[in-house]
Amino acid sequence: MQYDVVCVGFVNQDIVLKGIDKGALERDSTHAESTLTAVGGDAANQAVVLSKLGNRVALIANMGKDPIGEQIFRSLEQDGVDMRYAIRDGILRSNLSVAVIKPDGERSFLFGKGEGDLDVSMNTIDLSVLDHTRAVSLGSLYLLKEMDQGGAASLFRLAREKKVLTFADMTADAYGIGPEGIASVYPYTDYLMPSYEEALYTCGKEDVDDIADYFLARGVKNVVLKLGSDGCFVKNSVDRFYMDPYPVRAVDTTGCGDNFCGGFICGILSGMSLQDSARFACAAGAINACCLGAHEAVKSREQVTEFMKTAPQSRLNR
């Protein structure tokens, strides 16, 4: 196979400002402790992390040929991501976001939507790529309007027919399509990896078992529920377990969920067990929190493995 993973989803240019308190917007000016300009977006973060972990990765995402789009494209190429399937036409101005990092490491985003045809759709994806990959990961459920309205289900159905593994992450409901808006993709999803908050919105249930059972009943094969600083919860028709986190002093939590997903996908494709993949994913997410930016901290598979050997893992009472 030419690729281990093809990542599909959303990309943008991030401007990261660290050390901004909640009252910043009430003042005339506030000085950040430190700043970073880097590529962001679910699909881009996953793709870069997977590449750093030694995987062959292609990215399908929409970015313009404007200065921001060109910078995004070149940066991802430099990070080892194959960009031949990137969508470059139809955008007048690419997406931009400002990530405001609060003193405790938590973050808020300010989005500047670009101009033009920003979406990814089945009409703009070169579907021949499914003949050349082991897995496809959709990083941005609830954010790509045309994909959410049947495109994601069609892509994953074709992937299933070709025996390509399917992974999916969620984000906030950007278009107001509602909790049932992406239900068509569940029957074709091998691994669904939402955050607890995203899953709560989608199914309206609070207990982790009830959340997982909701998605399993609708056809998802494996539910990997990200619990932030509490690790994760994994369930399928046979297995059920929590994976405890690696506690770190958070510098910036931006992209931790995407690093988790990249680590988990890497684990599965490397032949790790479900539990070892979840542990590896928790380690990747923890490493990312130690550095400013959404995919700057993870450097290699060896780094993550060494971190797991030396860093203490929490033992939470569940």
pLDDT, one tens digit per residue, over 24-49 is: 888 888 888 888 888 989 999 999 99
Q: Which helix (H) or strand (E) segment is 237 a member of?
A: none
208 domain-assigned: yes
On the question of pLDDT at 215 being above 90, the answer is yes
**Which pLDDT value is given to residue 118?**
63
> With bands split at pLDDT 50, 70 and 90, how would you rate the model's confidence at 173?
very high
292 domain-assigned: yes
On the question of pLDDT at 107 being above 90, the answer is no
207 domain-assigned: yes
* Mean pLDDT in residue range 203-221: 97
On the question of pLDDT at 240 being above 90, the answer is yes
287 domain-assigned: yes
234 domain-assigned: yes
**Which pLDDT value is given to residue 89?**
74
Question: Which residues make beta-bridge pairs with 133?
Answer: 3
Helix runs in 32-105, H state only: 42-52, 67-78
277 domain-assigned: yes
**Cα→Cα distances 251→23, 107, 269, 286, Å:** 20, 10, 29, 10
User: Which residue range is the domain that position 270 belongs to?
Assistant: 3-9+41-91+117-310
Say if CB 232 and CB 281 are below 8 A apart: yes
**Which pLDDT value is given to residue 1?**
82
Say if CB 2 and CB 133 are below 8 A apart: yes
Q: Nearest Cα to 290, choosing from 38, 88, 18?
A: 18
99 domain-assigned: no
**Which pLDDT value is given to residue 182?**
96
28 alpha-carbon distance from chain centroid:
34
14 domain-assigned: no
pLDDT, one tens digit per residue, over 245-302 is: 999 998 888 899 999 999 999 999 999 999 999 999 999 999 999 988 889 999 999 9
Average pLDDT, rounded, for the chain? 92
Tell me which range, 110-114, 165-169, 249-253, is most confidently predicted by mean pLDDT: 165-169
Its sign, for the CA torsion 201, 203, 204, 207, is: negative
**Which pLDDT value is given to residue 116?**
62
**Which pLDDT value is given to residue 45?**
96
pLDDT, one tens digit per residue, over 114-157 is: 776 667 889 999 999 999 999 999 998 999 888 999 999 999 99
Q: How many domains does the chain have?
A: 1
On the question of pLDDT at 91 being above 90, the answer is no
CATH assignment of the domain containing 236: 3.40.1190.20
**Which pLDDT value is given to residue 239?**
97
Say if CB 62 and CB 44 are below 8 A apart: no
**Which pLDDT value is given to residue 226?**
98
